[in-house]
Amino acid sequence: MPTRRELANAVRALAMDAVEAAKSGHPGMPMGMADIAEVLWNDFLQFNPGNPGWFNRDRFVLSNGHGSMLQYALLHLSGYDLPIDELKHFRQLHSKTAGHPEYGHTPGAETTTGPLGQGLANAVGFALAEKILAARFNRPGHDIVDHHTYVFLGDGCLMEGISHEVASLAGTWKLGKLVAVYDDNGISIDGEVEGWFTDNTPARFEAYGWNVIRDVDGHDAEAVKKALAQATAQSERPTLICAKTIIGFGAPNKQGKEESHGAALGKDEIAAARVQLQWNHAPFEIPADIYAGWNARDKGIARERSWDEAFAAYATAHPELAAELKRRLSGELPQDWAEKSQAYVAKLQAEGPEVASRKASQMTLDAYGPLLPELLGGSADLAASNLTKWKGSLDAGNGNSSDGKGNYVYYGVREFGMTAIANGLALHGGFIPYDATFMVFSDYARNAVRMSALIPAQAIHVYTHDSIGLGEDGPTHQPVEHMASLRLIPNNHVWRPCDAVESAVSWKAAIERRGAPSCLVFSRQALKHQQRDEQQLADIRRGGYVLSDPADTKFQVILIGTGSEVELAMEASRALAQQGIAARVVSMPCTDVFDEQPLEYREGVLPGWCRARVAVEAASADFWAKYVGFDGEVIGMNTFGASAPAPQLFEHFGITVAHVIEAAKRVVG
């Protein structure tokens, strides 16, 4: 039977060989953390390589994702569907071993990591999801939601500000099944970190309320095992294991140095490492006894079978709870969702409320919330402004409501951490998370929004106070470029509704968009209700539609608007009609969805023969060029805003009915 060190050395060898073959990558961290990973994966981690999606598995997150070969080696050796040829093609086109772990791309990768600190944040989301679901569904004698979240992280993760945000929350929420292992090797790309990172990390996490296990020798398997046992023996606080390691362990001339961090070791150093590690095997060659020592397939099958039996007993004792949990984990919406949500949209259209779209959003949550127990929301200390709390909102109680029915999370002023935690909640399963802040502060969260789309994860990002219309707070709080910036993120649907009806439809679309994110952008100021027939009501879901056409004549100009500016377009069309110019008005609440429509539909809304077009939006004007072309004009923002009441600002910056009319006349010629 191989020794623990020999099992760990297999990880080191695969990391060296794969990075060398690619001439690119990070061998140092995998070699340094191999001993820790061997103990975790063989003695603690509960998983089934044959079914990576088994629900009650422990979650493993590699926050220091540049060391991806550590995870790929572990997945391959333990029996996941990741054959050796995939490791040989590390970082190559179409391989399953990308430069950083990617969710949905590599079996066993729980999330996409690489941007440092966000993996830790995702792990906090996983642990929060487990805790709330356990409180909601477990019953005496039936702990069917019972798993840990383990996360590896390094100095870079801890230097990033997001680590402060989410570690603070994890301590406050008492996420006792979250275990983080800190790879304290003292090295980053630029060298020894003591020149720029002198934090007392153990004291910092103790101040957050974590259980901290200090000074663990990361190359002593028994010490690592003892620390992990201590971490998992308690459930009151998250645990940080501070493990001292040597980066590039086993490479005699480069271990402990930045040279082993982010570049191939080179053939000579790899040969020397093989000698030092007593690894006498060719590149990518793993002896049968080493494979046998790692293979977790039989154990995984037994684990899942045991849980299946436990769940069957649970379903017999609590059939309604079991059915509800299965529904939520499958991602299926309740049976009455489609009918009742659409009935609410129709009701709004009939009643025609004229409210700010942020208020319409809250009204929609009041209607949709009771239908969706999986909806879990929160705001970055702006609940009263974002209007994200609804009538049925219950404090999740620091993630530990006694019955698990809490559905609202107070994130505090932590936009970045909040958004990345929402990604973790979505990936865990059982929840549709939403988060909220002012739109201008989406900048703080933007990289996590990007990760929502890249992963992808069904997180709903709510942004209110969407333009200069927020008024007196001034340019620091008035978003200008943010709309365009969010729309430029691939796979990210950005909705900016023009009234209460479009607001309800945008929420409905985001909830039904499984496995991908949406941004819902709402106004501070009241918006007028727009009249629609049944076809127009249905076409809102298509992202852009004809809101108004001349009654008895062919239109000469197309006016395109979103949000609060749709009413400007409508008023301008009426005024133009009186002057003998026929205008079509197009409401485009979601350009991303509109662009996904068949050409025939898009051509029907914006026909190529009508080149006279005007777009109006109180945001960056340049974005709209692709819709109006060289012959059209855009009424929008080209500077930052100013501090004044909203009506004065719209007049000052020329976002008015009069300017739309003037632009329409110019493009008609």
Q: Which residues are catalytic?
A: 415
Per-residue burial over 58-79, b if 16 or more Cβ lie within 10 Å, else e, is bbbbbbbbbbbbbbbbbbbbbb
| Contact status, residue 167 vs residue 210, Cβ threshold 8 Å | yes
- For residues 547 and 557, what is the distance between their CA atoms, to the nearest angstrom? 14
The rounded Cα 623 to chain-centroid distance in angstroms is 24
Q: With the C-alpha atoms ordered 68, 459, 445, 560, is the resulting torsion angle positive or negative?
A: positive
| Contact status, residue 515 vs residue 454, Cβ threshold 8 Å | no
The candidate with the shortest Cα–Cα distance to 383, out of 431, 452, 422, 435, is: 435
| Contact status, residue 134 vs residue 400, Cβ threshold 8 Å | no
> 381: how many CB neighbours lie within 10 A of its CB?
16
Copy the structure tokens of residue 164. 């402060």
- For residues 525 and 585, what is the distance between their CA atoms, to the nearest angstrom? 21
Give one DSSP letter per residue of 82-126, joined into a string.
--HHHHHTTT-TT-S--SS--TTTSTT--S---STTHHHHHHHHH
**What residues contact 118, with CB distance under 8 A and at least 6 apart?**
63, 162, 420, 423, 447, 448, 451
- For residues 479 and 473, what is the distance between their CA atoms, to the nearest angstrom? 11
- For residues 486 and 443, what is the distance between their CA atoms, to the nearest angstrom? 9
